[in-house]
Amino acid sequence: MAVLPLICAFLPIDAAASIMDGSLVAAKQTTYMSAVQIGATVVQFALLTYLARSDGVTTLTVWTVVKVGREIETAGAGWPCCHAGRCPI
């Protein structure tokens, strides 16, 4: 049950990330989008590896790492949009 508030709190951020991913696809910037997602995955992998080695793997920590990765994707996908002077948020 500790994960449910985390999911509810980050649901709008997940939606924003999906919208920004869609805008990158529409702008034919899939190479940039792929690089952002790969970077987020590398960070998630590093965090999960650290948690596994320190016996810190719980449902809450895994979901937190997933949400951290989604935060990175949101920031990365929003970077070109907001620096073009047309930030939708």
Distance, CA of 75 to CA of 53 (rounded, Å): 28
Write the DSSP assignment of the chain as a string of letters: -THHHHHHHHHHHHHHHHHHHHHHHHTT-HHHHHHHHHHHHHHHHHHHHHHHHTT---HHHHHHHHHHHHHHHHHHHHHHHHHTT----
Domain boundaries, the chain: 29-84
> For residue 14, what pLDDT is reported?
83
Q: Each residue of 3-57: pLDDT tens digit?
A: 788 778 888 888 888 888 888 888 888 888 889 999 999 999 999 999 999 998 8
CA atoms within 13 A on the CB side of 46: 8
